[in-house]
Amino acid sequence: MEKYQKLGVKEVWFWISDRLEIYVLIDDSYQRQNSSYNLSKLDDKILEKYICQVLTGNPRLLKKAFLQEIS
């Protein structure tokens, strides 16, 4: 995380053990958040749901469902 901070990266996402972790740089340190600062309509649970389905589901149907959910 220190390298990202030195580069000025404001938001970092990690996929760990089938879970999405979102960290946002606040006051010179990364803090775990449930949603993206840059993509405010996306929370970690919605993203996890579709990331887990992407390898087995129909991409067109997943895209349609995803877009409906975040609208």
pLDDT confidence of residue 14: 94
pLDDT digits (tens, 9 = 90+) for 36-49: 888 877 888 888 88
Beta bridge partners of 25: 30
Task: Give the total number of structural domains in the chain.
Answer: 1
Q: Which residue has the higher pLDDT, 11 or 45?
A: 11
* Full domain range(s) for residue 32: 2-70
**CB-based contact 10:38 (threshold 8 Å):** yes
| CA dist., res. 64 & res. 12, Å (int) | 26
Q: Which residue has the higher pLDDT, 71 or 31?
A: 31
